[in-house]
Amino acid sequence: MVSIDVWNASVDFPIFDAKSRSMKKALLSKAGGKIGTDSKVPIIEALRDITLSLKEGDRVGLVGHNGAGKSTLLRLLSGIYEPTRGQAEIRGKVAPVFDLGVGMDQEISGYENILIRGLFLGMSRKQMQKRVDDIAEFTELGNYLSMPLRTYSTGMRVRLALGVVTSIDPEILLLDEGIGAVDAAFLDKARDRLFDLVQRSGLLVFASHSDDLLLELCSSAIWMDKGEIRQQGSLRDVLTSYKGKDPFESVSHETLQRLGHEPAAANSQDKA
Amino acid sequence: MQATAEIERNDAPAAAPSRSWTRAWADIRNGIAQRELWGHLGWQDIKQRYRRSVIGPLWITLSMAITAAGLGFLYSQLFHIPVETFLPYLTVGFIVWGFILGCLTEGADTFITNEGLIKHLPAPITVYALRTVWRLTLMLAHNLVVYVVVLAVFWSHLTQRYILSPPETPNPEWHHGLGWDALLAIPGIALIALNGLWVVILFGIISTRYRDIPQVISALTQLLFFMTPIVWTTDILRSRVGGGDGGWRELVAELNPLYHYIQIVRAPLLGNNMNWHNWVVVLGLTIVGWSLAFLAMRNYRARVSYWV
């Protein structure tokens, strides 16, 4: 059973700054008297009191301004950050696609990066070797896969990362906004795969600023604001209050028609 | 169609708290289980370091050979010890020292250099510690080639009784020479690698929080190297300080934990006389070190991703 449960979780980042704790400052503040009240490490409250329960088949979009805590929430859901207060319980095989490029080795080839990412996501070397051809075909990177990763464009990296995570049957897929960097044709392909994945007892959480992408991939949404969940509900409701207008108004006619065939829009359209 | 279910939400938290022995132990166990991952990463590191060089990782072997030959000749002259026995002594000392130095300096940087991976892919942090230890073990294996060559060259000198002190020493200690007890080096190396892992975990976690620690360690390693009997022998120390079985020799060598680590590998590999207390000290340090590493894992494992 795939699920993510979070109870009153908070994520506080301590900000260790060598300057603020230097000997010089300490001495000066003593001489000057009362200035040095910052003896404690300053803390950024990135997430506050998050309570969530996600289950199999959920396709959740994350919206919110820059710095609202979307990426941090994704890292909390992936288990990278364990909450400083509260609890988080993640059941299922997690496959995250965060900042692309970081977390991949620039100097080694695309093939090697596919292998390493696969190993990190719990695959064995043999299992990955079986999938390499499939990934090569899906990403359309061809001979580029034997080139070092530093020669790749952002879009090509997204292709690689998506190729890996979608090929290994993860149960929980966490996507950060970066995937918007790929072209429309590839996005169509990727969307089909992501759908497959979610239907095969998966769970998707996707942070994005693009209404189109959200409408195509998600059914419900969470609006993050200043580290807290401001609203949680169906994608259309959340987007309407977040943007101040119904998202379906601004979507092009073609997209709407296409969405009409996708299960993603089914809920929203029922309600409309 | 909401993603939340009210019933679920009110359930009591079932997950184990972050700071628990269970979670610390699970991290280490799961880390070790991902053998293919750290094995690949460690080997990748070595290939990466010598990428585009013609002889590749053989540079590790070659640079050790050059250092050992150069210093072997120099110091054997300085101490008036026959180069045939002193050069092998220095070679093995250097090889083990290389591993220990790596555990201290690269170990302290382990989590800091893996920041990108730690922040982007969920994995037990033990994986990164094992990556470092495995890389250092592979380098040790490359360096052991030098030992094999040295052994072949000086075979006849090492298989008989020999001394490692200047000829003018009144009552020199005779080493029994190479024999079957050389096999004791295998548990010796295994024990050193096991200790390397706790050093990397413990120092890695502390250094991630306090960034001055790697600097402190690198400032001290030079001194540690010269304080440890690597380019000199305890036999020389005894002959110089003049006497019996006390004083200086006890203090300088015995109080230095690194001496015991080096001794459990070097003594068997060279047929030097060995004291069982070397093993006892190393075993004791293994237990103490692992207890501290477990404590650090329990309390700060989950903080590493916040600190890097």
Q: What is the pLDDT of residue A265?
A: 43
Domain that holds residue B92: 19-307
Q: Determine whether the interchain pair B305/A94 forms a contact, defined as Cβ–Cβ distance below 8 Å.
A: no
Select the residue of A14, A102, A119 nearest B306 (Cβ to Cβ). Answer: A14
**Range from A169-178, A187-196, A251-260, B263-272 carrying the lowest mean pLDDT:** A251-260
Per 3-state DSSP, chain A is made up of helix, strand and coil in percentages (nearest 5) of 45, 25, 30
- Cα–Cα distance between B28 and B197 in angstroms, integer? 11
The sign of the CA dihedral A63, A69, A72, A73 is negative
- Which of the residues A2, A45, A82, A106 would you substitute to probe the B interface, choosing the one with the greatest number of B C-beta atoms within 10 Å? A82
Residue B5 in any domain: the answer is no
- Cα–Cα distance between B38 and B127 in angstroms, integer? 6
- Which of the residues B11, B40, B121, B305 would you substitute to probe the A interface, choosing the one with the greatest number of A C-beta atoms within 10 Å? B121
pLDDT digits (tens, 9 = 90+) for A3-17: 999 999 999 988 887
Q: Which residue of A has its CA nearest to B33?
A: A122
- Cα–Cα distance between B229 and B236 in angstroms, integer? 10
Select the residue of B15, B118, B305 nearest A89 (Cβ to Cβ). Answer: B15
Superfamily of domain A110-204: P-loop containing nucleotide triphosphate hydrolases (3.40.50.300)
| Residue-wise burial string across B84-96, b where 16 or more C-beta atoms lie within 10 A, e elsewhere | bbbbbbbbbbbbb
Minimal CA separation from B285 to chain A, in Å: 31
Residue B8 in any domain: the answer is no
Q: Determine whether the interchain pair B17/A87 forms a contact, defined as Cβ–Cβ distance below 8 Å.
A: yes
A203 beta partners: A172
| Strands in chain B per DSSP E | 162-163, 174-175
CATH top-level class for A3-90+208-270? alpha beta
- Cα–Cα distance between B255 and B215 in angstroms, integer? 23
Inter-axis angle of helices B276-300 and B257-270, nearest 10: 130
Query: What is the pTM assigned to this prediction?
Result: 0.88
Minimal CA separation from B196 to chain A, in Å: 23
Do A3-90+208-270 and A110-204 agree at the fold level? yes
- Cα–Cα distance between A229 and B179 in angstroms, integer? 71
Q: Determine whether the interchain pair B120/A99 forms a contact, defined as Cβ–Cβ distance below 8 Å.
A: yes
Q: Which residues of B touch A58 (CB under 8 A)?
A: 3
Inter-axis angle of helices B213-227 and B83-108, nearest 10: 170
Q: In what order do the strands lie in the sheet with A59-63?
A: A94-97, A172-175, A203-207, A59-63, A220-225, A228-234
What would the mean pLDDT of A91-99 be, rounded to a whole number? 86
Select the residue of B13, B14, B48 nearest A108 (Cβ to Cβ). Answer: B48
Q: Which residues of A touch B48 (CB under 8 A)?
A: 105, 107-108
Q: What is the pLDDT of residue A34?
A: 44
Q: Are A265 and A217 in contact (CB under 8 A)?
A: no
Chain B residues with a Cβ under 8 Å from any Cβ in chain A? 1-5, 8-9, 11, 13-15, 17-18, 34, 36-37, 40-41, 44, 48, 51, 116-123, 209, 211, 302, 305-307
The sign of the CA dihedral A227, A228, A229, A230 is negative
Q: Which residue of B has its CA nearest to A267?
A: B1
Q: Which helix (H) or strand (E) holds A182?
A: none
Q: Determine whether the interchain pair A52/B3 forms a contact, defined as Cβ–Cβ distance below 8 Å.
A: yes
Q: What is the pLDDT of residue B89?
A: 95
Q: Which residues of B touch A233 (CB under 8 A)?
A: 2
| Contact partners, residue A53, CB within 8 Å, separation at least 6 | A3, A4, A5, A6, B3, B4, B5, B8, B9
Kindly tell me if the per-residue pLDDT of B263 is higher than 80: yes
- Cα–Cα distance between A193 and A204 in angstroms, integer? 12
Residue B158 in any domain: the answer is yes
Residue B96 in any domain: the answer is yes
- Which of the residues A1, A6, A7 would you substitute to probe the B interface, choosing the one with the greatest number of B C-beta atoms within 10 Å? A7
Q: Which helix (H) or strand (E) holds B80?
A: none
Q: What is the CA radius of gyration of chain A?
A: 21
Kindly tell me if the per-residue pLDDT of A35 is higher than 60: no
Write down the residue that tokens 């585009």 correspond to: B52
Select the residue of A51, A80, A267 nearest B1 (Cβ to Cβ). Answer: A267
CB atoms within 10 A of CB A237: 18
Kindly tell me if the per-residue pLDDT of A22 is higher than 60: no
Angle at B277 between CA B272 and CA B280, to 5 degrees: 125
DSSP state of B302: G
- Cα–Cα distance between B175 and B161 in angstroms, integer? 6
Write down the residue that tokens 């200043």 correspond to: A226
Paired tokens of B109: 């940087």
Q: Which residues of B touch A43 (CB under 8 A)?
A: none
DSSP state of A151: G
What is the total count of domains within chain B? Answer: 1
What would the mean pLDDT of A211-233 be, rounded to a whole number? 89
pLDDT digits (tens, 9 = 90+) for B112-126: 999 888 988 899 999
Q: Determine whether the interchain pair B122/A125 forms a contact, defined as Cβ–Cβ distance below 8 Å.
A: no
Amino acid, res. B35: R
**Range from A23-27, A40-44, A69-73, B258-262 carrying the lowest mean pLDDT:** A23-27
Domain ranges for chain A, please list them: 3-90+208-270, 110-204
Minimal CA separation from B51 to chain A, in Å: 9
CB atoms within 10 A of CB B211: 13
